[in-house]
A and B are shown apart, each in its own frame.
Chain A
Amino acid sequence: MRKAEIVTAIVLAILSLYFMWKSGEPPAWNPDAGRFANVGIIDGEGPGSGFWPFCLSFVMFLSCCWIMVNWFRGTSAPSQSTEPFLDAYGRKMLLLVGGGLLGFLVMIEIAGFYGAIFLFMIYYMYVLGRHSVVQTLSIATALPVISFFFFDVAMRIVLPKGYMEPLFIPLYDIFL
């Protein structure tokens, strides 16, 4: 945990510096404008477009430095901790759940939202949760059906269907 605290503070400090750099970027249509020309207060125009994000990013950077100082002094809880940042279970869980979520996102592009919901529920309930086949299939089927009627039919919010789009055309004819 102690190592993670300082590594995270350094990464966030670098991120803050990147935000400061990006805040001062001139717009694409005016490449002649100098970098950081927009972070000050411009006469007659008030603060430039980069003023607010630049100042905030600078405060972010200062807070990261403060976190680092606290780490060196050992005053924050994680800087005193001897526990691992993620134990073996945590790493496995992150891989299974986080990986499942990323798989869900990829499946949305292929099988659409409804197909991906069906597969994700099977993965989570049957593979990870070890629920019965009947329980898994009933929830995995009911959820996309309810979602279709709520979003596509009632709310008129069309969710992506991926390669399954042709299967929905008869349903559109009936319900929309």
Chain B
Amino acid sequence: MDILTSLMGGFLVALEPLNLGLAVLGVVVGLFVGAMPGLGSVNGVAILLPFTFVIQSMTGSATSPMIFLAAIYYGAMYGGAISSITLGIPGASTAVATTFDGRPLALKGQADRALVTAAVASFIGGTIANVLFTAFAPPLASVALKFGDPEIFALMLLAFATFVGLGGDDIPKTIFSICIGLVLATVGFDIVSGEPRLIFFDITGFSHGVRFLVLAIGVYGIGEMIWTVNSSRYGSTMSEVNVSFSRVLASIRKFHEAWKGTLIGSFLGFFVGILPAAGATPGSLMSYGVAKMTSRNPEEYGKGSVDGIAAPEAANNAASTGAMLPMMTLGIPGSPTTAVLLAGMVIWGLQPGPLLFTTQPDFVWPLIGSFYVSNIVALLVNLAFIPLFLWMLRMPFTILAPLIFVLSLVGTFAAYQNMFDVWLMVLVGIAAFFLRLLDYPLAPAVLAIVLGPIAEPKLRQSLLFSDGDFSIFFTRPIAGPITIIAIILILLPMFRLIRRKIRGNITT
């Protein structure tokens, strides 16, 4: 009852004209920042943080600036899907998994359905996460703390294992793709010893590492576009899309087909989001993997499955709320964006931690109320803009292709302000085109470069803790079952092969 009363009070503050206006503005800004390749919620929140000091000085409280930044965060989570679906370039790392099925569905002429599925799944994911956040914030924060290094590494292993066991692609090529992504993630300075690693051909540009966006934009922006140019043989439009409100409504009516992916993404995304140093990107990738693993039709994934769009989109929104939980209750940010938000809270004079809910209820409850409000605003703004997003797909390919090339180059530079990365991204794109011709799956490499920087320190810290004994991944109550499931998944293709051989022998 206390929670409901506090939440109602929070809603009243969140719906005040100024706060509502800031939420709408934040969502719109976030939507565009998220849709722009190379820029994500962290860029939007970081760039606009100084403006919030003006808002704070005007209102005299930290609530309004925090509502504004949280709305940008939300909007960016919705926006990331737009360029993933319409252009095939992930707007942010959190939307990589959306590209796997969003893009193929758009190419089938159902971009409207893909966008509606992404928007509604994001809304449901965000709402479920908000309810979980409201009801269980303090106990969930303590559960998340039980996930130590071995448990988080086991989760990462599970994410990779789903690609091997259920990917449906050539297995050695999938394993190669995962490993090369993980190796590329280690380029640069070792965060534990400080030693330089894998500085290829002693080119100094590699000393700051091979960044995620270089690989993601190279593969999905440049490589995908060259491949499309090669296969479409010029002249055609990207896909035949009719822009009409009735089609959007029809897509909303069909959303029930994506309920399973949405629920998996909502709960898993929220929980992964809570884990320290995890965040929305691993959350969305893992949800995609689990949705595929539990699907009756895993072969449809990668070809335009609506569940394959709903799971990562619900997850990244749920994870963005989940990541707020350790930030507010423990003072531990779960993602780079929440790290910036945490900095903002400290600058505004708040002390995030276990006492925040009791000492600062005037800040906490309006903020939670604004999560619900921003979520509704983001859904409405997103649905309203769908005709504009679809219009992009109706452009002649000879205009759209150079636009995507330009966006890829500008986006990569904007993200890292380094021309070496831009050159590397183009070279990666050309290499990706050749590998794609030979059926090398490239999505696992992108997944690996995102999860690699999280997985390696967790593995090393676990082995340091166990004196190099690998049984630590099997003997702990949470890590053990996850590791065993991951190993079974990795061995699944071998079981299938043996079964096929036995059946073949019986038939003979």
Contacts and interface: CB of A to CB of B under 8 A. Distances in A.
B399 A93 contact: no
A113 B172 contact: no
Contact of A139 (B171, B225, B399, B426): B399
Interface size class of B (residues with CB under 8 A): 35 or more
A27 B171 CA distance: 35
Given A56-B179, A63-B172, A120-B406, A5 B438 contact: yes
Contacts of A70: 170, 172
Nearest to B186: A53
Nearest to A116: B409
A172 interface: no
A76 B176 contact: no
Nearest to A91: B230
A58 B94 CA distance: 30
B232 to A, nearest CB: 10
Contacts of B413: 113, 159-160
Interface stretch (B129-137, B238-246, B345-353, B457-465): B457-465
Interface string B307-339: 000000000000000000000000000000000
A104 B408 CA distance: 12
Interface string B37-71: 00100010001000000000000000000000000
Given A85-B437, A109-B419, A151-B414, A129 B399 contact: yes
Interface string A66-98: 110010000011100000011001100110011
Nearest to B422: A105
Contact of A143 (B170, B403, B419, B459): B403
Given A49-B195, A56-B179, A90-B230, A67 B172 contact: yes
A57 B198 CA distance: 11
A163 B230 CA distance: 35
Given A41-B468, A121-B406, A156 B47 contact: yes
B176 A22 contact: no
A104 B405 contact: yes
B253 interface: no
B182 A155 contact: no
Contact of B170 (A56, A76, A155): A76
Interface residues of A, number: 68
A145 interface: no
B438 A8 contact: yes
Nearest to A143: B406
Contacts of A98: 226, 430
Contacts of B356: none
Given A57-B179, A101-B222, A49 B230 contact: no
Interface string A12-26: 100000010011010
A4 B460 CA distance: 38
Nearest to A51: B460
A47 interface: yes
Contact of B438 (A4, A93, A113, A155): A4
B437 A46 contact: no
B423 A105 contact: yes
Contacts of A117: 406, 410
Given A5-B438, A97-B226, A139-B399, A23 B198 contact: yes
Given A23-B198, A53-B198, 5 more contacts: A49-B190, A76-B439, A105-B409, A113-B413, A120-B402
14 contacts: A1-B438, A8-B435, A27-B195, A47-B463, A47-B468, A56-B183, A64-B176, A86-B437, A108-B419, A130-B398, A156-B47, A157-B414, A157-B417, A159-B413
